[in-house]
Structure 1
Amino acid sequence: MILHVDAGEYYGFNEVASDVWDTIQEPQTVGAICDVVAEEYDVEYARCRSDIDELVTDLLEKDLAHIVDNE
């Protein structure tokens, strides 16, 4: 569970989302996240990518994550 301090809202994550949350504490590509999750949970990469894309979109919309340009 995490707290969005500015919004005053709590968000609960399942096990996979919690692992993704831990992983994105350092900048990561979506592909790198999917590589880890697909291997850890023995899930098809295409399914993993779709689910991770959805999670990342949700995190961005809730202002819980942001995109970093490493250039």
Structure 2
Amino acid sequence: MTEITLETRIAKSDEIVAGKIDDEFVMMSIDNGKYYLMNPTGSRIWALLDEPRTIGELCAVLTGEFKITAADCQKEVVEFIDQLAARQVVKVG
């Protein structure tokens, strides 16, 4: 798997269909038929990925919206994106 850095560009997978319910996104993989539910923070990241962005760009927005330090944001966003990439929900690179 590609190492994720602040400069790594993230994009939504074309194999995911998503819909918003209240403050959360529910997604389904067209490829494997699995469903995924994102909490409000994950849903915000998903919404920000309407256009491909780097980890740095995501954290610049998130640190302005949530009470989180830049270092904690970077750590948590990288872990989250790693999980999404492992499930082929996002494309990394």
Question: TM-score scaled to structure 2, two decimals?
Answer: 0.69
How many residues are treated as equivalent by the alignment?
A: 68
Higher share of residues assigned helix: 1
Superposed CA deviations along residues 21-42 of structure 1, whole A, max 9, x for unmatched, are 1111211000000111111012
Distance 1:14 1:26 in 2: 20
TM superposition outliers: structure 1 runs of 4+ over 2 Å: none
Is 1:55 the counterpart of 2:88? The answer is no
Greater RCO, 1 or 2 (C-alpha within 8 Å, sep 6+):
2
**Which one has the bigger strand percentage?**
2
**What's the % identity of the aligned pairs?**
26
Contiguous gaps of at least 5 residues in structure 1: none
Structure 2's unaligned 5+ residue stretches are 1-25
- TM-score normalized by the length of structure 1: 0.88
